[in-house]
Amino acid sequence: MAQVPMQTIHRDPQLFYWILFPITIVMILTGMLRHYATVLMASDPKKLDQKAMREQRALLHGMNLRANYHVLSKPSFTARRDALITAFESGAYLKDPDSRGQPPPNPMSDPNAMEGMMGMMKNQMAMIIPNTLIMSWINAFFSGYVIMKLPFPLTIKFKSMLQAGVATRDMDPRWMSSISWYFLCIFGLQSVFNFLLGSENAANQMAQQMNQIGPQAGQMFGPGVDPNKQFLAEAENLAVIEHHSVLDGVEQRLLEGIKM
């Protein structure tokens, strides 16, 4: 089988100094800037008044009891459960017990809710603005250059993506233009940021989007959720627990453990 002769393109080595390195350095520095911007813009958690705090903590108390009931002995568990269920069902821990049964207020009108949304918007902005800027910067200055060759072959389908702005029909799709180096940087620089900024950095937008999909603890007490309904549901959850303790049969297990 005849080998297809390898294409060689003679490029000015100055391309590396004036295109490749600037793009890479700018990408790394933007990542670091984004990290520190996120750190600086992070708003402190808002102070709650005593009643609201009591409402949240009481709910958490119920949840913790439900998750850790096995470390309690039976009488102490039943005592706690009975106390919590009575309190939950009578609404003793509610922030304003008069508003039971009324529909929750519109979340848009609550100033606290607006603040949370503003925080989310700020994070989104910190991601979108640098990306748009860098994309247009690369498009304006560096479009139309072929700078590198990928070390692995690709099908012809990738040509339009990798060689955007280079209108040469017969060129091997392995040659890539500056914009595709930018995309490689977006995906591959996470390890560099891990190394530079520690593993909990906010430099990479991909990782951030992953985090946003994950569950958020703050959502539980979010606006528009009726606390009375949460309390009732929690009381029901507590009521159905079938109690058993880790100390059940512990003598048996101990004797098995020290058997010769």
**Length of the chain counted residue by residue:** 260
* Residue closer to other proteins (CB basis): 103 or 198: 198
CB of 197 to other proteins, least distance (A): 12
Of positions 32, 52, 63, 184, contacts other proteins by CB under 8 A? 184
User: Is 222 an interacting residue with respect to other proteins (CB under 8 A)?
Assistant: no
User: Angle 21-41/190-197 helices, nearest 10 degrees?
Assistant: 60
Considering only 38-46, 54-62, 85-93, 182-190, which stretch makes contact with other proteins by CB under 8 A? 182-190
Q: Is 147 helix (H, G, I), strand (E, B) or coil?
A: strand
Considering only 105-113, 157-165, 187-195, 226-234, which stretch makes contact with other proteins by CB under 8 A? 187-195
Place of tokens 């096995």: 70
Q: Which of residues 68-97 bind other proteins (CB under 8 A)?
A: 70-71
Q: Which of residues 190-209 bind other proteins (CB under 8 A)?
A: 190-192, 194-195, 199
Residue among 95, 120, 93, 92 at smallest CA distance from 105: 95
Mask for 14-43, x = binds other proteins (CB under 8 A): --x---x---x-------------------
Considering only 93-101, 136-144, 156-164, 189-197, which stretch makes contact with other proteins by CB under 8 A? 189-197
Count of residues near other proteins by CB under 8 A: 27
Cβ contacts of 245-254, under 8 Å, gap ≥ 24 = 245/70, 245/71, 245/72, 245/73, 245/74, 245/77, 246/70, 246/71, 247/73
Mask for 233-252, x = binds other proteins (CB under 8 A): -----------x-x------
Cα distances (Å, whole numbers) of residue 215 to 58, 107, 149, 219, 221: 21, 20, 41, 8, 13
Q: Is 105 helix (H, G, I), strand (E, B) or coil?
A: coil
Distance CA 172, CA 155 (A): 9
Q: Which of residues 143-162 bind other proteins (CB under 8 A)?
A: 147-153
Tell me which residues touch other proteins (CB under 8 A).
11, 16, 20, 24, 70-71, 147-153, 184-185, 187-192, 194-195, 199, 244, 246, 253
